[in-house]
Chains A and B, each alone.
Chain A
């Protein structure tokens, strides 16, 4: 069997059984990267020599019985906004073009403890601001299903790497849909956990109250296994939550009998592509046939989620990105006159257009005289949106809808009109505002052959329901792979 056709869990089992070594797995991945990267550009940084050494070391530990974790020897790709000690971490920005962290993100450390071997860092929209991975300072990433199209974003590099077999699984981060939407565009599984489930320590912050790290995997089983590894309470992250129910693999049960699934009418109205709509509703029908109770309902407030999100995320980002000033790390402009000119030139040259756009918007909505009208108003609407979900989850175990209004757009189509790009986040964004978990699972292809994703949303801390429903659906659907 071709090593690359293994899922992460299958590979770990094969390594454990001695059928494959970690080094062979890494070599296979590197060979695939050699073959694909010129078309895809999923990675920003790969240190081949170090990576092969790490794989060899992992295999030795496995042989010695020292490394027995569930992901022992499995190559993983990490989104480039997670700190990796001694490995370039750029956030796909020029301003961090030379930044080498002195510590690793907690989620990365947890993966390493479980035996995973880091291949490299994946491309993304600069500082996770974007939905297409076109705002990267290091070139666009292309969709492995059709390289004329974007992979989605901001975790586009991670999603593309998984889809193209350039890794066995990847970590992404999701502030407004940045795991689920690229997963959907690239035909892989992506889960955004409940806020506070995965430590944010070492994740370079975009919108701190919305950011969560999560897995991008080939299937739901891998997703559950990776979640068990990365979901830990961390004393270094004050917003990290203590959970007792992180045995996510126990939810890998193909059964939705009696599960109540709500379909928000507001998610199926104007703007939703007909093919996407049909595919998602067909999936709902299939679940219903397996015994789920599916009904339509009105979620309300859906059209307010995007303005709320962009106010809050931009405000937090404007503050979070103040630390990039040319003093402590990263890019510093060559020529300047005095301190403030150094700040301005460094930041203007170091940040791309989309990042600047959001920093300016965020600075404005927090500025004197506008705070109440914009920022505080958005925090109040956020409370209302959370309440609307609370009411929905009083009635339903899960909400089912599309991930994005369309399949992956063509390269260059989205950037010309930022507002239009923002509208593409409509089904994913409110999940972040309410701190909820959501999963994206492939549910078909459109007439152009591009993947379509469906999204399950659960109440806070109910990832197991997501996993169970997604796993059941996956069994109904059958294999979903690119024909290479």
Chain B
């Protein structure tokens, strides 16, 4: 009988924090600047430059630690991790090894297998590296240090996960927590959230862990799932053929669906960590800690409970809306203006989700404002526009965050409430469609639908369908 294998997975998740400036200098963290325009002597390792810690980084790191049930290391320090690479301007990265800011946490996840707690070994603060671009023409690489020094937290889990499904659930949970805190936008495709997967296999029932590998370059949930499956297979094949798994770092190539060893005889993997003498220890007093605790936001579970109590909307909708902090904020802010939770929820659950899916976007990418959504609801409520016009306006608002009132006005989309004009149009429609009139009189109820449609078309969609129906029946 074939051996049964269990996959053992731990994650190292890097999250870029949403600070305005870098971790050790006053350079902007904004995305997309021209190369090296967000740099200074500190983040490019100029001789004589010195780092000074951005306080907001500590606030965010502690907030994430508290939200993931960690113990906060009230006296923590920074260490240097020494390795040579061109994206690392000092050839050491300032990180934390000996006294990381958070330890011993956990988050609860839910999968088809049920509920489970995933342990968090530690969270530490560190600086991001620059970006390397390959230049085919010159056959060299080019370095841009704009990202060098952007603050990161690295969340290191315990090896508690056993499947890709659990890994995804864990990542989604982490993403939700960090987004709720406003500590990062956590976009895998832009690299503001990155996961390295440590994976080993062992025979079911074994108590010792197998030899693990670390996989890097995973920038989508899809890539993570494929990499886990691929690496599991690779390791089982090795073991089945009597070979051994080598502890190493591997780079996942999502296009080829295969991982490659990143070994080189020039990489000793001996980082010579030692306390950074240029930075002083961070002491998080009880008062400071209490302050961060007090400013923690309402997390999803609490929010769901409150929505259930406050709003008359389905539990399913509550689940979807609170799945994204941005969506939940949009919901609450819109309700605060128009006081119509049911209708706000309907717009989010219906048209919003449809368009997000159609355009392959995340809820975080929504750009329309609560004010504009509330205005649109107001226009529809007052019958100033009919529902099909409302949907039309919504689409434009979704793309461009236009003011619906202005837009309706400027494009002449208001419902025509002039009964005389409507009656005249309907009379013309009846006269032009004797066959449908006859069908209606012969009991074909459907025929009226055709006449309504013709009327709406003639009115360029701006009539109130209820009124059209009523006048049609009367005239027939």
A contact set with B: CB distance below 8 Å = 82-83, 89, 91, 96, 99, 101-103, 105, 200-205, 207-209, 235-239, 315-316, 318-319, 322-325, 327-329, 339-340, 343, 363, 366-368, 371, 375
Contact = CB atoms under 8 A, between A and B. Distances in A.
A360 to B, nearest CB: 12
A203 B47 CA distance: 8
Contacts of A83: 47-48
B241 to A, nearest CB: 32
A375 B45 CA distance: 24
Nearest to A364: B272
A196 B188 CA distance: 42
B274 A203 contact: no
Given A201-B48, A201-B49, A322-B90, A327 B278 contact: no
A323 B50 contact: no
B90 A235 contact: no
A319 B82 contact: yes
Given A101-B47, A238-B50, A238-B53, A343 B41 contact: no
A31 B279 CA distance: 44
Contact of B274 (A89, A99, A202, A375): A375
A375 B82 CA distance: 15
A339 to B, nearest CB: 7
A201 B50 contact: yes
Most chain B CB within a 10 A radius of its CB, from A91, A101, A103, A323 = A323
Contacts of B86: 325, 327, 339
A105 B46 CA distance: 12
Contacts of A102: 41, 46
A238 B47 contact: no
Nearest to B91: A322
Interface in B228-283: 264, 266, 270, 272-274, 277-280
B89 A328 contact: yes
A10 B80 CA distance: 47
A344 B277 CA distance: 26
B363 interface: no
B51 interface: yes
Q: Is the interface of B mostly helix, strand, loop or mixed?
A: loop
Contacts, number: 98
Contact of B50 (A96, A237, A340): A237
A323 B52 contact: no
B278 A315 contact: no
Considering the complex of A and B, which 7 residue pairs feature the smallest CB-CB distances, nearest first?
A322-B91, A366-B272, A209-B277, A208-B277, A340-B266, A202-B48, A204-B47
A91 B51 CA distance: 21
B368 interface: no
A315 B49 contact: no
Nearest to B82: A319
A243 B278 CA distance: 19
Interface of B: 41, 44-53, 80, 82, 84, 86, 89-92, 143, 264, 266, 270, 272-274, 277-280
Contact of A323 (B45, B278, B279): B45
Nearest to B89: A328
A203 B278 CA distance: 12
Given A239-B278, A323-B89, A323-B90, A363 B272 contact: yes
Contacts of B264: 340
5 contacts: A101-B48, A201-B49, A237-B50, A318-B82, A319-B274
Nearest to B264: A340
Nearest to B280: A238
A367 B274 CA distance: 10
B279 A238 contact: yes
Nearest to A105: B48
Given A239-B280, A328-B44, A366 B274 contact: yes
A93 to B, nearest CB: 10
B272 A236 contact: no
Contacts of B51: 238
B82 A208 contact: no
A204 B91 contact: no
Most chain A CB within a 10 A radius of its CB, from B84, B143, B266, B277 = B277
Contacts of A82: 48
Contacts of B50: 200-201, 236-238
Given A208-B278, A322-B82, A367-B272, A328 B45 contact: yes
A205 B274 contact: no
B83 to A, nearest CB: 9
Contact of A103 (B41, B90, B91, B92): B41
Most chain B CB within a 10 A radius of its CB, from A99, A204, A205, A238 = A238
Contacts of A325: 84, 86, 91
A379 to B, nearest CB: 8
Contacts of A322: 82, 84, 90-92
A399 B271 CA distance: 41
Contact of A238 (B45, B46, B82, B278): B278
Nearest to B266: A340
A236 B279 CA distance: 11
A367 B272 CA distance: 5
Nearest to B265: A340
Contacts of A207: 277
Contact of B84 (A343, A366, A368, A375): A343
Contacts of A204: 47-48
Nearest to A366: B272
A368 B84 CA distance: 17
B270 A367 contact: yes
A56 to B, nearest CB: 28
Nearest to A326: B86
A318 B92 CA distance: 11
A200 B278 CA distance: 10
Contacts of A235: 52
Given A367-B270, A375-B274, A99 B91 contact: no
A306 B73 CA distance: 34
A235 B55 CA distance: 14
B129 to A, nearest CB: 13
Contacts of A343: 84
Contacts of A316: 274, 277
Nearest to B53: A238
A176 to B, nearest CB: 15
A141 to B, nearest CB: 22
Most chain A CB within a 10 A radius of its CB, from B91, B272, B279 = B272
Contacts of A239: 277-278, 280
B82 A366 contact: yes
Contacts of B277: 207-209, 239, 316
A328 B46 contact: yes
A89 B47 CA distance: 10
B38 to A, nearest CB: 16
Contacts of A319: 80, 82, 92, 272, 274
Nearest to A201: B50
Contacts of A340: 84, 264, 266
B48 A205 contact: yes
Contacts of A328: 44-46, 89
B90 A371 contact: no
Contacts of B278: 205, 208, 238-239
